[in-house]
Structure 1
């Protein structure tokens, strides 16, 4: 039997329906329930659908706040640097300014994704719109790649046609401002992104961190120009391009894993441990986790005593889902499928599905 308890709660059966024959015995089951009730008193919570919706909305709201704050900081930084680019003619600072501007603009697709993620599931989009964050992550990766191409093109052009850099001290000051602004935004985005489980926001934070390092590289450009090395500016511009490519690799890997439903193996270990501690669960037949936006969903196959009645089996499934919700904070729903232990007399109940199994 399969159960998806992600959107409703169920009445608890009486003790007379408690599954029998599990490895811990009746005293172990009572002890486990007592520990669980004490934990409830110490850490009150709810699994009702309204509370899960509130948690999802709150995480999206935190993501939106992170976007607006970082957009304001990076926007101010980019405008200040753009003014200095006009007066100094620094190609390295121009590349840094472009990175800051593009990083600020990535807030647009990510903000759209957060807004879409709040929409309720429909009969067409039965899992909701959380995948919009993955699409935003792809846009962010493409933006990082485009900024790398632009920076390389400008730097190569300046190598072919060298020009003098002016107002070196102002350029150096702009570089420091760019580093401070980007590093603050990077730390903020990465911290919020990891807290709410948004890979796209983490990738955006990595983008900002790269821009911070490229801002520091502009200092080298100004220093080289002050020493009379005219090619310092385009050479640093190429170094900036290389740094962007390194962060592009990390951001692309993060987004690719999310699109391909990759999860941290430690989460799987945590979920398996939680299921094995549920009284009545004899074995775990299968376990799958996937991200939808910045929330997790789980599917688990558990093996129970084949002589249990339907109510007892259902009770174990509910307790298994409950254990997962406790063990994995970002879990929004779980589908629990109960299988029975093999019986020498009864035919395998899955034989009807055998011809549907892929070779």
Structure 2
């Protein structure tokens, strides 16, 4: 048996303002990287210490906040313009669209709070930080969408049983076009930013805005029917808008549920396994886990290494494995690598002492 049983490689810590640096990576020396790799490091030097990894993570939160506040302003102006037309026209279809747009604008508030919380440092109580606040914001967004759907359905059904003429039909049509333009611009901005920073909640919010845009176009149908004297056109379009909101609710709820349950794209797991298999000294990849904490990923992996390797050799393999993961998996900011010795024939499993805890 080698002089070590396992090698646990925790995320490194670097303290600033004169406090000593501890356990810093020296990845330039690992297995003598090729000239292309050395050239890349010379042109764009970087470190994988936790403090350096947090810098792009904080920048991603700042980008998310900018996207939220800009879209809040755009949707707020859109909703106010539509609300003025609703008061003048009495259109229940436009009312449903306005309520939905207002709700979509207000979802920026809990998501913005989540982004701000996610930038706070981890504490002894919240040892993983506050990134999971984004999942809570996602739940609030789902509930907001559900409330807007219920309100739109109630107003549409009420007007269906009590039809009324719609006044200022041209203004209703213009307000519908304004709603479509505002929502589509916000949708593109949120989706692009959400995908860039890895925020499922922001992407879901963008898809929500895109559907709002199409429901705004549906208001045009109600305005056209009202112009032709068909009073039921407006409430029927209101019900159609309710159905569209329900579809958005289903998709958003599914995305938020997956994130709350720590689901990840299986392609990311495959990518991580391929990267680990190519690390010199890795004899096999055992348990591999990925989880989202806000819009950042963390990994935990158990590797098989040479049973006769020294502790330093095993630790180097673990460091190289983390290094490979950080390069291979987008938005991964930390990895905990556990190295197990490759067992000799007939050798008992060194983890048998833990079996009763696992059961």
Gapped runs of 5+ residues in structure 1?
19-28
TM-score (norm 2): 0.92
Query: What is the aligned partner in structure 2 of residue 2 from structure 1?
Result: 8
Cα separation, 2, equivalents of 1:271 and 1:150: 45
Distance 1:211 1:7, change over 3 A: same
TM-score (norm 1): 0.92
Query: What is the aligned partner in structure 1 of residue 289 from structure 2?
Result: 288
Secondary structure class of the residue paired with 1:241? helix
Distance 1:282 1:33, change over 3 A: farther
**8 Å CA contact 1:300, 1:334 repeated in 2:** yes
Cα separation, 2, equivalents of 1:292 and 1:11: 24
Q: Is it true that 1:104 corresponds to 2:105 in the alignment?
A: yes
Cα separation, 2, equivalents of 1:6 and 1:220: 59
Q: Is it true that 1:138 corresponds to 2:139 in the alignment?
A: yes
Query: What is the aligned partner in structure 2 of residue 122 from structure 1?
Result: 123
Query: What is the aligned partner in structure 2 of residue 342 from structure 1?
Result: 343
Cα separation, 1, equivalents of 2:99 and 2:45: 48
Q: Is it true that 1:242 corresponds to 2:243 in the alignment?
A: yes
Q: Return the offset for 1:14.
A: 11
Query: What is the aligned partner in structure 2 of residue 277 from structure 1?
Result: 278
Q: Return the offset for 1:347.
A: 3.3
Off by >3 Å, runs of 4+ in structure 1: 6-15, 32-36, 41-44
Q: Return the offset for 1:4.
A: 1.2
Query: What is the aligned partner in structure 2 of residue 21 from structure 1?
Result: none
Distance 1:6 1:94, change over 3 A: farther
Secondary structure class of the residue paired with 1:291? strand
Aligned alpha-carbon RMSD (Å): 1.7
Query: What is the aligned partner in structure 1 of residue 161 from structure 2?
Result: 160
**8 Å CA contact 1:290, 1:296 repeated in 2:** yes
Q: Return the offset for 1:42.
A: 5.0
Distance 1:262 1:40, change over 3 A: same
Cα separation, 2, equivalents of 1:14 and 1:225: 71
Cα separation, 1, equivalents of 2:163 and 2:218: 18
Q: Is it true that 1:318 corresponds to 2:324 in the alignment?
A: no
Cα separation, 1, equivalents of 2:309 and 2:92: 74
Secondary structure class of the residue paired with 2:351? helix
**8 Å CA contact 2:131, 2:293 repeated in 1:** yes
Secondary structure class of the residue paired with 1:189? helix
The within-5 A match list for 1:1-359 is 1-8=7-14, 9-10=23-24, 12=26, 30=32, 33-41=34-42, 43-344=44-345, 346-358=347-359
Secondary structure class of the residue paired with 2:287? strand
